[in-house]
Amino acid sequence: MAGQVEGNGESNFILDHIVDHHELHLGSLHIPLPHIHLFGIDMSITGHLVMMWVATLFIIVTLAISTRRRGLIPSGFSNAIEALVVFIRDDVAVPNLGEKEGAKYMPFFLTTFMFILACNLLGLIPFGQTATGNINVTAALAAISFVVMIGSGIKHNGFFGFFKGLIPPGLPILLLPLMIPLEFLGLLTKPFALCIRLFANMLAGHVIILSLIGLIFIMGVVAVPVSIFFALAMYLLEIFVGFLQAYVFTLLTAVFIGLSVHQEH
């Protein structure tokens, strides 16, 4: 749900940049976005939603350019994209699902990684917003991963076989009333961890950067060199964190899917 920050005071400087809005902020220009309500449900267009559309378009254009000229030996930009694909395959998919199963899930893993990465990096450009700093977005991504995880486990082991495999073999019958709820809760904590980890890391990084920049307005000219230096350092760190969090989310998703598919391990 989008939030609206009132006022233009310095106290609202940070919230104004990290909270979702029903308008696009392009410097001093504020472009209103349409409010849509269907059957009592708020489906209005917000800034973070627009950034997700931009991220999707960016991925489509990037992949179209990288595959425009296909050759036996890729070079330049195509080589960089291929290196990224090979990295996800060899370090994420295959180690957790095996070569055969990993190949089947590669489209899902690549889509997840590139979408999160694009959303993370778009928030670092001027006038950009970080959609992954919105808990609704990360919750939706985690829910998709959870559905794929459960669906893969049921498809591979059968409906009853999947849920039976959650219980450790050889467990005494007297412990079943205790272990069944615990295992069920353990299953639900996986998407919760995916959601909170990505949301918290992306939000915290932007809050720190904005706080350092805000020192300029609070302390005046004295704080300019120090604020710029630390803000630049944090900005570079955020670029690294953007890649890292996309990788961690994709890796954990692969681990959880692998545990659901190969319960015997």
pLDDT at residue 72, as a whole number: 59
Q: Quick one: CA dihedral 3, 231, 59, 95, positive or negative? A: negative
pLDDT at residue 22, as a whole number: 79
Of 234, 254, 232, 252, residue with least CA distance to 242? 234
pTM of the predicted protein model? 0.84
Give the residue with greater pLDDT, 20 vs 54. 54
pLDDT at residue 57, as a whole number: 95
pLDDT at residue 10, as a whole number: 46
What does the pLDDT look like over 78-123, one tens digit per residue?
A: 788 888 889 999 999 999 998 888 889 999 999 999 999 999 998 8
Give the residue with greater pLDDT, 203 vs 77. 203
The answer, yes or no, to whether residue 31 has pLDDT greater than 60, is yes
Residue 12 pLDDT grade (very low, low, confident, very high; cuts 50, 70, 90): low
Residue 247 pLDDT grade (very low, low, confident, very high; cuts 50, 70, 90): very high
